[in-house]
A = this chain, B = another copy of it.
Amino acid sequence: MENPAITNHEIHPLIAQRWSPRAFDSKPVETEKLAQLFEAARWSASCFNDQPWVFIVATKDDTVNYQKLLDCLVPFNVSWAQAAPVLGFVVAQKNFKHNDKPNAWGEYDAGQAAATLALQATALGLVTHQMGGFDADKAIATFNIPETARPIAAIAIGYAGETSNLPADLQEKEKAPRDRQPLASFVFTGEWGSSAKFI
C-alpha cells in the first residue's frame, strides 16, 4: 500500500511518497540497504558539523538485541512494530564534541538526520515509522545511554506489508487520508501570525 501526500504544490516524489505506515512485511532489510540508510543520515547538516545523532539498532535475526528494543516500546507500538524487521532508537547528544558545552541544536539536528534517513528509506523501497511512545528510562538503562544523551524517538524500518494483517482499528488508521495544516498557518513574514505573501 502507498499513501502519497496530496500536495497543493509539486514536491519531490521521495518527499511525497514518504509516510509512516504500521503494516510491515517480514522480509529482512538487506545489509547494504541498512548501511545506505545510516550513510544518508550521516550526511545531514548539523550545527558546527557536530553530528549529534546516535542510532541504536537491531535486526530481527539478532533476537536478543531486537527484543531489548521492542521491550522499551509502549504496548500499542509493540502491537504493530513487532512485525518490523528492524527497530532502533534515534538518540540526541546533549553536548558539543568540540567543547563539551550544551548543544542547543542537538535534538533539532537529530531530527534532521532521522528525516534524511526516512527519505533514503523511501528511495530504497523501504518504509519507516517513528514513535514517541516508549519508556525512555528503560531505554537508557537497557542500552547504557549516558546522561549526556537523550533517546528521542524509536523507529521501525522495513518493507511495507499488507494492511489486512493489521488489527481492524489500525487498518482504519492506515487507510485514512494524510493531512497537514495549510501553509498559511505556519509560514509567516514580518511578524508571528502574519502569513507570507508568497504562499
Would you list which residues of chain A between 8 and 47 have a CB under 8 Å from chain B? 8-12, 14-16, 18, 20, 31-32, 34-36, 38-40, 42-45, 47
CA–CA, A165 and B57, complex, Å? 44
The yes or no answer to A95 lying at the interface (CB within 8 A) is no
Residue-wise, chain A 67-96 has the 8 Å CB interface mask toward B (1 for contact) of 010000000000000000000001010000
Question: What B residues does A166 contact at CB under 8 A?
Answer: none
Contact A40 B56 (CB under 8 A): no
Residues of B within 8 A of A90 (CB): 108
Q: Is A145 an interface residue (CB 8 A)?
A: yes
Knowing A34-B198, A187-B57, A189-B56, say if A40 contacts B65 (CB, 8 Å).
no
- Output the least CB separation between A136 and chain B (Å): 9
Contact B112 A38 (CB under 8 A): no
Known: A42-B180, A109-B111. A120 touches B186 (CB 8 A): no
> How far is A14 from B85 in the complex, measured between Cα atoms in Å?
26
Q: CA A179 – CA B48 in complex, angstroms?
A: 12
A35 touches which of B9, B44, B48, B146 (Cβ 8 Å) = B9
Once the chains are docked, how many angstroms separate the CA of A67 from the CA of B146? 43
Q: Which of A139-161 contact B (CB under 8 A)?
A: 143-146, 149, 152-153
Is B9 a contact partner of A144 (Cβ separation < 8 A)?
no
Minimum Cβ distance to chain B for residue A154 (Å): 11
A183 to B55, CA, bound (A): 10
Least CB distance from A140 to B in Å reads 9
Chain B residues whose C-beta falls within 8 Å of the C-beta of A193 in the assembled complex: 144
Contact in complex: B108, A114 (CB < 8 Å)? yes
Does A191 lie at the interface of the complex (its beta carbon under 8 Å from any beta carbon of B)? yes
Give the docked Cα–Cα distance between A188 and B57 (Å). Answer: 6
CB of B31 within 8 A of CB of A11, answer no
Shortest A192–chain B CB gap in Å is 5
